[in-house]
Structure 1
Amino acid sequence: MPLAQLLHRLLLLILLCTGSAWALNPDELLPPERAFAARLEQQGQTLLLHLDVAQGYYLYRDRIQLTPQPAASVSVPKLPAGESKNDPYFGRQQVFHRGLTLTLPINGTLPPDFTLKTVVQGCADAGLCYPPLTRTLKVGDGMASNPWLDSSPSQSTAPALARGQLATTLAAFFVAGLAMAFTACMYPLLPIVSSLIAGHGHRLSKRRGFGLSLAYVQGLALTYTAVGVAAGLTGSLLTVWLQQPAVILAAAALMVLLALGMFDVISIQLPAALQSRLAASSNRLSGGHVATVFGMGALSALLVGPCIAPPLAIALGYIGQTGDALLGGSALYAMALGLGLPLLVVGTFGGHVLPRAGQWMNAVKFAFGFVMLAVAIWMAGPFLPTPLTMLLWGALALGIAWKLARVSGKGLAARLGKALALLFVLAGLLQLVGAATGAPSPRLPWAGIWHGNQLPKAVFSRVASNAELDAALARARAAGQPVLLDFYADWCVSCIEMEETTFRDPAVRRRMDKMLLLQADVTANNAEQQALLKRFGLYGPPGIMLYDTSGRQTAQVIGYQDAATFTRSLDAANLG
């Protein structure tokens, strides 16, 4: 899970309760060969099939089919368990967000003409589903020419934040490190820095102080960089291991434990005996020399490591998902620089330039704690009953509101805290109401109350080809009637959700009743249906095309939208 996304999810609590969404930009969606990349390689008497899933997408476990040719040349393994996804319309599904690697034992000698036919199907988290994708993979010479096996950077499945946005990724890690620096965890290092650079006494200049403290921070960064490289190198192994439900639930429990550490309910630190040994080692290092200062920096990473373990766990989870050792080392190095920035200031100018310790340090720790709890709920949510998940989100929102409301004083910070507290109270209450009334999802907490006021399903006329669509558009143009063309498939979760919620909303139906409603069912994904999708540059449903009374297409909506957002989309389309 990307670090930026995890931090962002705390802010998304309110959005989860409003159900707001934006129309997707088709240019921001990945083509299927990049969303679901594949590689086939041979290692001795086994073949390794890597099904990689880009960040923000997922594959359905029960829609993965493998057919070797010749059939008896390899043994097809049983697919591992996926992540549980509880869909209110399709039931509990198993999906793969992080991809998977399958081992296919070779029976005897692999024939030169061996191929592996694969069929996969998946969706984007943003609400667009792809038709079944069929491809034929070869080992050896076919890898260079097969676009599914292209290992160029353009095919990378690293998270979007990392892919092509290295500067943004490093900046995010630097800011995260700086935030961790302003907690009580770092204050034991300040006297260490002062004593190490004190070897020069009064002769120490600001330039020399900066150089020594920079050496100390580089030693600190070296340890974290090594950890980041290790996380990147083992990313593929972590990916397979972390697919297991038991592991995901255990990780969620660990996040709760780490959050308790941030709230000072429990203490997360090295054993006292080990801390004493590390401190004794540091005392034996003489100050004022670059080499010894650098070494002490590396040792100090062990002293503060357990204290900053919770946010570091998020960072390592992000890096492990990318499987990129270079990115892992660079990201943790940037985080260590943020962590060591106050130490550079102390070494250069002295400790009097740092802000004084106070309640703001506890506020930073509590913020990390709430992020940890949000991550835990997000991870465990697919395995929990929907009402329980909503109760947990509601409790978390109310807990944040309680903490914000306790901000003392009469300044801007206090007023802002109370305003945010009110928003989180509303968000939390909506989640609790949704849990009590049987809402289908935390995104739609009001659905349990208003479902009874929804209208019957909208009635669409089906079009099965471009010719049928052109004929229907001509009739509508002659009648001066606007047109709504809906791309639908039986296997499209978001399509079903829009039919059951968005299209039944009274405000939406008042606008749709004035329009000719057409529907292109692309369930079979045959040649004519593929031509319809290609005409509008779609990879799959849901997709809605809007035409005005003159037959001109004025807008398109890609992916799922709730009723309120879709109403605004219809009003903005200028349909006449």
Structure 2
Amino acid sequence: MSLPRLIRLFPLLLLMLLSAGSWALNPDDLLPPERAFAARLEQQGQQLLLHLDVARGYYLYRERIQLTPQPAGSVSLPVLPAGEAKTDPYFGRQQVFHHGITLALPISAPLPAGFALKTVVQGCADAGLCYPPLTRTLKVGDGMNSNPWLDSAPSHSTAPTLARGKLAATLAAFFAAGLAMAFTACMYPLLPIVSSLIAGHGHRLSKRRGFGLSLAYVQGLALTYTAVGVAAGLTGSLLTVWLQQPAVILTAAALMVLFALAMFDVISIQLPAALQSRLASTSNRLSGGHVATVFAMGALSALLIGPCVAPPLAVALGYIGQSGDALLGGAALYAMALGLGLPLLLVGTFGGHVLPRAGQWMNAVKAAFGCVMLGVAIWMAGPFLPTALTMLLWSALALGIAWQLLRVGGQGLAAWLRRLLAVLFTVAGLLQIVGAATGAPSPRLPWAGIWHGTQLPKAVFTRVASNAELDAALARARAAGQPVLLDFYADWCVSCVEMEETTFRDPAVRQRMDHMLLLQADVTANNPAQQAMLKRFGLYGPPGIMLYDAAGRQTQQVIGYQDAGEFVRSLDAANPGQ
């Protein structure tokens, strides 16, 4: 398949990945509790301020926040603000905080030496995993960098993403995004300019010399973006706290819509004309053909092309800021800039004829980014909107993408893939409309309001209360050649109850579970023995399901909620041929 055709297919493949229904939840994708629910206690005049910060994608239960001054009577307890309404089909109406809150505790008497505030909170990840109650005694001045929940949570490694084996995937994703941005219409006219800059004053260059100069140019571009990524990582925790405010999030969502309109050429986002002229004048004074000046021009080009890549760059910086990892930020933006500069390397080495011609496919790349921007805007604003409205917005986006895909027409493999994607997006959009009309609880489950399926009675589990009991049960199953399902459960875990009431009652699931030894570790009390079991499997909390084959080998780990279809696939993968 030719390079132009591959590039034309890229936005379609990007949309397919971004619109996939659900992803397997990996333990490495979850934040440790001390980062998901950070805390800070400070004194401000005659009051103490307790900052409870909630990472994006997580939430705290309002009714499970408990504060106990030690000693009692030194401060007055605050009245908790109202939370966001969250209706669960099993636990009823709950109030939760998706974003951080600050509580003021008036000082009613001089604070004694050694004063502390005992805090107990409990929350969950939107992805479907709930954390046990977290207890910590905070002193004035304790901050988010002191890991305030660490001593009460299961002990886990808190190494950043770079140390968890996910660096390659992260860098590959950023490189691909940079490569896609390189083929937007606003970037393409720079290619002949770069070619002439590298060539210098008409000198004929060898391919090696051309590659060296173009590499210097790309390094200037890349290192500029690397500095931006490091800055985003270093300020990530501060940015996260600030960006969790509802007004800021809704403003950011509105900006995402503006960025999307820019991608669709409805509006134009660019630097002021005076600044553009100054940058162009500076670049014209740089002579080509020399490594130092070409490197400087590369750094300057990061400013020149900034408006063109601002929308996707904003998303990238938001992701890096959320990670709070400066090393990850620098590496990710460096990889993105390398993708952005790859066509420039080709031009500098082989000449402009190696690149695909400008054409309609550039608009397809921009449209793909525009759709991603709209999706980000809906995702950001979703917690503040009625569920039905959120589902209608997702529906409008999906149906709009389907309509655009069908408008393109054409023949061949690309046209066939576009039609297939259009059908998938149409189905997804119609499901969201059905869900909004039938009162579905979430865009993830648009059919929940009309379909309940045929269900069997609850599955019967054998409880294990410690690692010793678990080892004994596993040994018996291994001796009998019986596969094992170990379920981590808690009464306060919404996803655990949901799996018991839906997934475990599905006939296809039960057909497979009937051949297995069903064990359950109830961690409701979160006592030391239960924490030890969680720690053994690297879990922050339930639900977590460990699957063993007949030989006693752990073959699968399911983290978070899975519906019946997903769980059947997990069971089949754990015990093929059963």
TM-score normalised to the size of structure 2?
A: 0.76
Please report how far the alpha carbon of residue 134 of structure 1 lies from its aligned counterpart in structure 2 after TM superposition: 1.9
Alpha-carbon distance in 1 for matches of 2:150, 2:575: 38
Count of aligned positions: 554
Aligned residue type for 1:361: M
* Structure 1 residue 386, shift from structure 2 partner: 1.8
Change (3 A) 1:75 1:174: farther
Q: Cα gap change, 1:164/1:202 in structure 2, threshold over 3 Å: closer, same or farther? A: same
Q: Is the 8 A contact 1:156 1:163 kept in 2?
A: no
Deviations 1:103-161 (A, max 9, x none): 999999987645443322222444232221223456899999999289xx975475x47
Instruction: Give 1:51 shift.
Output: 6.6
Is the partner of 2:434 in helix, strand or coil? helix
- Which one-letter code corresponds to 1:15 in the other structure? G
Query: What residue is the counterpart of 1:340 in the other structure?
Result: 341
Counterpart-to-counterpart distance in 1, 2:221 and 2:549: 63
CA contact (8 A) 1:82 1:243 kept: no
Letter in 1 for 2:250: L
Paired with 1:461 and 1:354, the residues of 2 have a C-alpha distance of 61
Structure 2 distance, partners of 1:482, 1:419, is 39
- CA distance in 2: counterparts of 1:196 and 1:545, whole angstroms: 59
The answer for the alignment partner of 2:565 in structure 1 is 564
Q: 1:13: which partner in 2?
A: 19
Instruction: Please list the CA deviations of residues 15-53 of structure 1 after superposition, one character each: whole Å capped at 9, or x if unmatched.
Output: 25xxxx76x67x768796666576779899999988777
Q: Residue 267 of structure 1: SS of its match in structure 2?
A: coil
What is the CA distance between 1:272 and its match in structure 2? Answer: 3.1
Alignment partners' CA distance in 1, 2:548 and 2:271: 65
Pair 1:244 & 2:269 matched: no
| Separation (CA, whole Å) in 2 of partners of 1:271 and 1:433 | 46
Distance (Å, rounded) in 1 between the aligned partners of 2:520 and 2:167: 42
Which residue is 1:94 aligned to? 96
Which residue in the other structure is 2:279 paired with? Answer: 278
Instruction: Using the TM superposition, name which of 63-72 and 206-215 deviates more.
Output: 63-72
Quote the Cα distance in structure 2 between the aligned partners of 1:307 and 1:482. Answer: 55
Following superposition, the deviation at residue 200 of structure 1 comes to: 3.5
How far did 1:542 drift? 3.5
1:96-245 equivalence runs, <5 A:
96=98, 113-136=114-137, 148=150, 155-156=157-158, 158=160, 160=161, 164-245=165-246
Q: Deviations over 1:149-187 (max 9, x none)?
A: 89xx975475x4785533433332222111110111212
Structure 2 SS opposite 1:186: coil
Q: Aligned equivalents of 2:240 and 2:439: distance in 1?
A: 34
Unaligned runs of 5+ in 1: 1-6
Counterpart residue type for residue 11 of structure 1: L
Matched-pair contact (CA < 8 Å) for 1:231–1:328: yes
Q: Is the CA contact (8 Å cut-off) linking 1:37 and 1:157 kept in structure 2? A: no
CA contact (8 A) 1:390 1:442 kept: yes
User: 8 Å contact 1:488–1:542 — kept in the other structure?
Assistant: yes
Counterpart of 1:206 in structure 2: which amino acid? K
Match of 2:399 in 1: 398
Q: Is the 8 A contact 2:39 2:51 kept in 1?
A: yes
Q: Is residue 462–residue 521 contact of structure 1 (8 Å, CA) maintained in 2?
A: no
Would you say the 8 A contact 1:55–1:157 is kept in 2?
A: no
Q: What amino acid does structure 1 have at the position aligned with 2:187?
A: M
Kindly provide the CA deviation profile for residues 265-311 of structure 1, in whole angstroms up to 9, marking residues without a partner as x.
22222233432332233223333343433333333222211111110
One-letter code aligned to 1:279: A
- In 2, Cα distance between equivalents of 1:200 and 1:257: 41
Change (3 A) 1:65 1:164: farther
Deviates most, 79-88 or 111-120 = 79-88
For 2:361, the equivalent position in structure 1 comes to 360
Match in the other structure for 1:436: 437
Residues 461 and 37 (structure 1), Cα distance of their counterparts in 2 relative to 1, 3 Å cut:
closer
Tell me, in whole angstroms, the C-alpha distance in 2 between the residues paired with 1:413 and 1:329.
36
Contact 1:487/1:541, CA 8 A, preserved across alignment: yes
TM superposition shift of 1:253 = 1.6
Deviations 1:286-343 (A, max 9, x none): 3334343333333322221111111001111011112233332332222222212212
1:423 maps onto 2:429 in alignment: no
Q: 1:363 deviation in Å?
A: 1.6
Question: 340-349 or 234-243, which moves further after superposition?
Answer: 340-349
The 10-residue stretch of structure 1 (179-188 or 134-143) with the greater mean CA deviation from structure 2: 134-143
Deviations 1:51-73 (A, max 9, x none): 77778655445534444534577
**How far is the alpha carbon of 1:352 from its aligned partner?**
1.9
State the partner residue of 1:325.
326
Shift of 1:520: 7.1
Change (3 A) 1:559 1:303: closer
Distance 1:482 1:340 in 2: 52
For 1:189 and 1:79, how far apart are their aligned partners in 2?
Answer: 55
| Change over 3 Å in CA distance of 1:225–1:109 after alignment to 2 | farther
CA contact (8 A) 1:546 1:575 kept: no
Aligned mates of 2:35, 2:414 — CA distance in 1: 43
1: CA distance, partners of 2:167 / 2:555: 37
Percent sequence identity is: 77
- CA gap of 1:370–1:38, structure 2 versus 1, over 3 A, is closer
TM superposition shift of 1:494: 0.9
Q: Deviation of residue 566 (structure 1)?
A: 4.2
Q: Gaps (5+ residues) in structure 2?
A: 1-12
Write the letter of the residue equivalent to 2:97.
Answer: V
562-571 or 377-386: which moved more? 562-571
Q: Which aligned pairs between 1:42-57 and structure 2 lie closer than 5 A?
A: none
**1:477-556 equivalent positions in 2, closer than 5 A:** 488-502=489-503, 505=506, 522-525=523-526, 540-542=541-543
Instruction: Encode CA deviations 1:207-260: one digit per residue, 9 max, x unaligned.
Output: 333333333333323432332233223222211111112221221121111111
What secondary structure, in the 3-state scheme, does the structure 2 residue paired with 1:94 have? strand
The residue number in structure 2 matching 1:387 is: 388
Distance 1:308 1:428 in 2: 29
Q: Residues 113 and 279 (structure 1 numbering): CA distance in 2 closer, same or farther, change over 3 Å?
A: same
SS at match of 2:21: helix
Q: Which amino acid in the other structure matches residue 128 of structure 1?
A: L
Alignment CA distance shift 1:215-1:10 (3 Å): same
After alignment, is 497-506 or 167-176 more displaced?
497-506
Larger deviation, residues 307-316 vs 453-462: 453-462
User: Could you say which residue in structure 2 is the equivalent of 1:3?
Assistant: none
What letter corresponds to residue 344 of structure 1 in structure 2?
L
Stretch deviating more after TM superposition (168-177 or 86-95): 86-95
Query: 1:464-483 alignment to 2 at 5 Å?
Result: none
Moved more, 354-363 or 481-490: 481-490
